[in-house]
Amino acid sequence: MAAKAAQRPSVLKPVLVLNGPNLNMLGKRQPEIYGHETLADVEAACRAEAVRLGLGVEFAQSYHEGVLVDRIQAAREGNSGIVINAGAYTHTSVALLDALNAAELPAIEVHLSNIYKRESFRHHSYISPAAVGVIAGLGTQGYLLALQALARLLAR
């Protein structure tokens, strides 16, 4: 009986799905680039995928860099991994990079659009060095793929 108990995975803390500025405008803002799904649609799809994967999931979104930093710092103790779409802060925020490094959690960076087909300033991400992977250009499916990847990483 003890051998079976030792094989059971430990209970994981929930994965944090963190969204930056303007992602609250999904479905309204430039749908030709970002699609017609809303942030609520993304959250519902992620919740369903998390259940399928046996993960807990928490969501947060802010327009304020400091609020995002605070949430990443809190994730160090309260979460097992991070899916982050930092929006425009991807291309400007050393503070988010530092927070992700300090959190010491596996993080996957998500972009709805293919940032390499867009303006050149979007080709550089400050947060990528802290991420175990980057998913870009697959729309909202990128969030689900990120959860799948984290489930595999966390199962190791």
Instruction: Show which residues are catalytic.
Output: 34, 111
Q: Which amino acid is at 51?
A: V
User: What DSSP assignment string belongs to 14-83?
Assistant: PEEEEE-TTGGGTTTS-HHHH-S--HHHHHHHHHHHHHHHT--EEEEE-S-HHHHHHHHHHHHHH-SEEE
CA-nearest of 156, 105, 114 to 132 is 105
Handedness of CA 153, 137, 39, 20 (dihedral sign): positive
Do 125 and 90 meet the contact criterion of CB atoms below 8 Å apart?
yes
